[in-house]
Amino acid sequence: MLSSFLPDACCREAAAVALASAPDVPASAPDVPASAADALGGLAALAGAFDALGTQAVLGVSLPSPTIFAQYFVFAVLLGGIYGLVALGLTMIFGVMDVINFAHGALMVVAMYAVLVFSDATGLSPFFAIPFAVLLLFVVGVLIYRSTIAPIIDAPQENQLIVTFGVLLILISAVEMVFGSDPQQLGLDLGSLEISGVFVPQGQLYALVIALVALAGTWLFLQRTMLGRAIRGTADNRDGAQYVGIDVPRIDALTFGIGAALAGLAGGVIPLFQSFTPALGDQYLINAFVVVVLGGLGSFPGAFVGGLIIGFIQVFGSAYLGGSTYQIVIFLAFILVLLVKPEGLLGGSADE
């Protein structure tokens, strides 16, 4: 399975594994990076699959076969689901509180290391550690709100940006002091599923399922519960919510806590399929901001749709454009949406 869905890694390292195992590669071919095998979780079956699909197609020398296209499609959907999950917490906090949380990536990192510590300390499966990380990040989120955001909630937005950026620096520095900056991993090999010649890495598949459950659960919570309605009412009209008796500061604290918990969920699933460092959260966060704007600020379905769009651009762009050219396409799409539909593809009303 892929150990990284970060820029260039998905398709470049898959191609490297295919080259490494292909029988017709000449002896003069360049050395394959040692990390390539690790990038696919050491799955010989997946490496063999790329070999069987054809080195030329993997390298983009010829038109891709339907199987290779389907393989890239699967990668894109899996990556898009992860981006959608990362963006859920961002859009939750912004949609209700109008706060852009730069510390979101740092909260994800805290969750990654929480899963690592819990799994090592208890010997239990990382799947049991994910709920622990979610609860921990909810508490951390409420504490961050009470200590840093609440005093400046009515201040200009740039004040909140600076404060959340400061929280990011504090959290990342604390993680580096305790764990260092070397990559960490769980050593978990979940394998992959083969469907008609297309391999589906189970780690990313579990992450996609968790993302869909989180999306549905958050939507149901906001639509079907009294607390959820109070949150939506606060998002729609903060002054009106206060007039009808809603405790807006409490709603803000809960909202920030839920947003942090969603960041914890996103960070908690990442160790299932890749190694991680304290810097990893920011790499996901950059594209997650684009996802939120594409889908619509405050829109949960929009976050998932935006995640899929970015996932497809990144995977197919990495395969056929070369280098990091796909990142240009991502930001061109970002600018285009801002110009044509500033509210995002799916709007972004409080009801969503």
Summarised one tens digit per residue, pLDDT across range 286-307 is 888 889 888 887 788 888 899 9
For residues 250-259, give the mean pLDDT: 93
Helix (H, G, I), strand (E, B) or coil at 201: strand
Whether 271 and 115 have beta carbons less than 8 Å apart is answered as yes
Summarised one tens digit per residue, pLDDT across range 89-104 is 888 888 888 888 899 9
Q: What is the pTM of this model?
A: 0.78
The burial of 3, by beta-carbon neighbours within 10 Å (0-12 exposed, 13-18 middle, 19 or more buried), is given as buried
What is the reported pLDDT for 326?
86
What is the reported pLDDT for 98?
81
DSSP line for 284-352: HHHHHHHHHHHH-TT-HHHHHHHHHHHHHHHHHHHHHT-TTHHHHHHHHHHHHHHHH-TT-TT---TT-
What is the reported pLDDT for 31?
39
Whether pLDDT at 17 is above 80: no
Residue-wise burial string across 286-316, b where 16 or more C-beta atoms lie within 10 A, e elsewhere: ebbbbbbbbbbbbbbbbbbbbbbbbbbbbbb
What is the reported pLDDT for 62?
54
What is the reported pLDDT for 1?
34
Summarised one tens digit per residue, pLDDT across range 330-349 is 889 888 988 888 888 886 44
Place of tokens 């240009």: 328
What is the reported pLDDT for 114?
95
What is the reported pLDDT for 63?
59
- The Cα 323–Cα 301 span in angstroms is 30
For residue 351, what are its two tokens? Answer: 């009801």
What is the reported pLDDT for 51?
41
- The Cα 281–Cα 277 span in angstroms is 8
Q: Which of 42-46, 75-79, 86-90, 332-336 has the lowest mean pLDDT?
A: 42-46
Q: Does residue 48 fall inside a structural domain?
A: no
Helix (H, G, I), strand (E, B) or coil at 200: strand
What is the reported pLDDT for 64?
65
For residue 204, what are its two tokens? Answer: 């990313």
CATH number at residue 310: 1.10.3470
The total of structural domains in the chain comes to 1
Q: Dihedrals φ, ψ of 201, to 5°?
A: -60, 125
Whether pLDDT at 19 is above 80: no
Q: Does residue 172 fall inside a structural domain?
A: yes
Whether pLDDT at 189 is above 60: yes
Q: Does residue 295 fall inside a structural domain?
A: yes
Residue 195's alpha-carbon distances to 13, 52, 205, 274, in angstroms, are 21, 15, 13, 22
Q: Which of 36-40, 75-79, 127-131 has the lowest mean pLDDT?
A: 36-40
Place of tokens 């500033």: 342
Q: Dihedrals φ, ψ of 106, to 5°?
A: -65, -35
**What is the number of residues in the chain?**
352
Summarised one tens digit per residue, pLDDT across range 103-120 is 999 999 999 999 999 998
Q: Does residue 17 fall inside a structural domain?
A: no
Residue 108 sits in which domain range? 72-340
Q: Does residue 19 fall inside a structural domain?
A: no
Percentage of the chain modeled with pLDDT above 90: 34
Place of tokens 């609440």: 150
Q: Where are the alpha helices (DSSP H) in the chain?
A: 9-21, 35-39, 44-53, 55-59, 66-97, 104-122, 126-144, 157-179, 202-224, 226-236, 238-243, 248-269, 280-295, 300-320, 325-340
The burial of 44, by beta-carbon neighbours within 10 Å (0-12 exposed, 13-18 middle, 19 or more buried), is given as exposed
Q: Does residue 246 fall inside a structural domain?
A: yes
Q: How would residue 124 be classed by pLDDT, with cut points 50, 70 and 90?
A: confident
Q: Which of 74-78, 166-170, 242-246 has the lowest mean pLDDT?
A: 242-246
Q: Does residue 326 fall inside a structural domain?
A: yes
Whether pLDDT at 257 is above 80: yes
Summarised one tens digit per residue, pLDDT across range 198-247 is 888 988 999 999 989 998 998 899 888 999 899 888 888 888 888 888 88
For residues 51-74, give the mean pLDDT: 64
Q: Does residue 227 fall inside a structural domain?
A: yes
Summarised one tens digit per residue, pLDDT across range 308-320 is 999 999 999 888 8
